[in-house]
Structure 1
Amino acid sequence: MRSPHLKPKSSPNGKFFRLLVLVSLLIAAPLLTLQVAARVYLMQGDRFLAQNQLEKAINSYSTATKLQANFATVYLRLGKALQKNQQFTEALKAYNQAFLINPDLTVQSDLASDLTRLGAVLLKKGNVSEAIIAYQIAVAIDPLAIEANHNLGKALAQQQRWQEAGQAFNQVILFDPDNAQAYTNLGNALFKQEKWHEAKKIYEKALELTPKDALIHQRLAEILVEIGEFNSAETLYLKALALAPNQGDLYNGLGQVLYEQKKVDEAINAYQKAIKLSPNNPEIYKNFCFARHTQHQYEEALKLCRQAMTLNPAEGGAKFYVMEVERALAILKNPNLLQMPERIPSPQTDPYISYKRSIVKVVIKSSNYQGVGTGWVLKREGKNALIVTNRHVVTNPEQKQEQDAKIEVELYSQPPAGQIRKRIPAHLLEKTDPNDWLDIAVLKVTDLPQDIQPLSLSSVSPPEASKIEVIGHPITGDDWSVASGQVQSVTEQELYLSVVLASGNSGGPVLDSNYQVIGVVVKAGLFCPQTSSNNQINVSLLNKLGCGIAFPIELVQERLNQWGI
């Protein structure tokens, strides 16, 4: 007998599972619908892009990104459409977003080439930081993109990021070992980092590849000058002039190496030819000025240095020479000037007077070197005082102390016309080793006027974006100029300052809003480097025009304590 068919009973677990599936579908359905809609707008945008209807394509892609925010392909197409529509900054943002969503993007639709072209346009428009980002994405996507690597190096060089620029040029050389321009640019980057011997090898390789390039002869000659091989540099300049006989800067370089070899008459002949070819080059007039001075033709030397300053008011060597010679001639005509009392302005006339009196102009002269920098009074006992400055202010370009060097400090005052500011002699008490990254020195002076008091030192590290002021003697401005700015970033060893400084500010104090010293200026530069926390692709660069670098006062105090100061 056949058994009756029994309908199975539903289990509680089975009902729960079907309910769970139903709920999941209900939740997922809108998401699936959004993804489908996003792809529809993507395809619509592709059609408009193919028809060159750029505004419609941009609108379609933008709608797709709103429907599906993590859709890398849409951002790539949006970037392409924006780029073709000449909305270059917006295009970069779209490409950047695509890369953030998917850092492992492979080369597709000539994406690296698109980004390279975009970088070139941004660079031409002066948007250097944005161009760098475009090139960085391009080489991240395609490391073999030689043009992108080379352009990246050149853009980084514009921001004085020499180490990073060198890495980009090295990448070009890796894939194109016969690229003479890459070798030349790498040599330039090494030169800027003062890596003389490394730069020499690179320039020599560039010269092997292009033996008739006058510029490479010149660059290699400049390296030889830095390492003191003047005779070899002379030979290279002569070879360069044989290849390019109408370049004034080559005659100027030849004049310099001849002057260094004490061939003054030959150097003057080279400078005269240089001026005929390049009459608006201030450096030639400055160098010619020094050569005339060596011949004791002081009036002619002054005329040449004044012409250099007319052509370039920031020509520091000429400015220093003119000021020193005019001072010496004034004293020669009237020795009583040295005994004249100082005329010190009142706080009502100059609110900075007490700080300026504590900040000195450091002047150093030797048979081979002359220079100027800034220093400030750290402490005093009676008429004796200690002054902090940089090591490189009181030593020669090789960071060595010349035996016949004479150091003086000039004190702030406002002398009437025809008079001069007071100077007192100083001697070098302590300085850091030339290989020491901490570039500081301490001078000792006597007979310091009683009104000059030490500056106060801050006991706390400055926060980022805090306001600062720097008082010093930039070659681009007046002595005791006050530059205002802010702390851009802080590291263990350096303060990066968003403030316009120049050579001559070195050694000066960085003052906080309470006029306490928070740092010692060591370098003036055009751009501040990125801090290590900044992602080089997805964060806008923080570089700002006008950058100074200073040592935090805590580190300076530690070294002073080690010296027993």
Structure 2
Amino acid sequence: MTTVSDENKAQALAAKNQGNDLYKQRKFDEALACYEKAIELDPTDITFLNNKAAVYFEQGNYDEAIKQCEKAIEIGRENRADFKLIAKAYSRMASCYQRKEQYVDARTFFQKSLTEHRTPETLSKLSEVEKIIKEKERKEYIDPDKSLEEKNLGNEMFKKGDYPAAVKHYTEAIKRNPDDAKLYSNRAACYQKLTEFNLALKDCEECIRLDPNFVKGYIRKGYALLATKEFTKAQAAFQKALEIDENNKEAIDGYRRCCTSSTPEDMRKQAMADPEVQSILADPAMRMILEQMQNDPKSIT
């Protein structure tokens, strides 16, 4: 450990304070010279290196700022600096990587900063970077060709009456092409077969949001609402479908059912009487899947 005289420490502190004043005035070159003088006088103080890194950061010289942060951490460890100062160096490194759009590295160093000292500011920055990474991964995962493959597999499973498998394929298709309204409609059809009407309704809403003129979305929404006792809303959904296609038989039948005020219990009994549904519910493994889907819809993804 290097020993520094009190006189040198005092002169170094004065140089740092002068640099801080210049930094606030955005006179970065002059501030940098002051911080370098402070480091010369007292090479054991992590603060001077952190401040020097801050100047490079403001100048947009992120690679040099990172180098100074690495030196700051090294000097700080050697001289048992306050963990808050080491955390600050890690956080500034992370910010440099964020500016360079190297988000994985940014996440790593924000996390390292938090292991030294947790602050709301660093937590917020980490959260922001994690959102960027997640969205980037989501976009990179999009592949319309693979989405079509999964959709076709879902269609095959649907025709076979294997609705849980169809849901899984449609879910993967959605991940691969999240802006295809028909995929949500297809998955909603599976949920309706499985009497998971709330899940079907959510998919219908997303389908309609993506394509407000897709008549099938309104029809499936109407039937999901009928099953959840929302008769007025169901009637409005069928009415919207008829505005798009006034001769649509499914929409006409659904609208009439709203007018006759069939009870939800009757509708559920009718759904449960469907031989396909009865076959599924007779299988203990399928019942377990349905219970899992009801308790945690995300478990199927």
Q: TM-score, normalised by structure 2?
A: 0.43
Richer in strand (by share):
1
Richer in helix (by share):
2
Structure ranking higher on relative contact order (CA contacts 8 Å, 6+ apart): 2
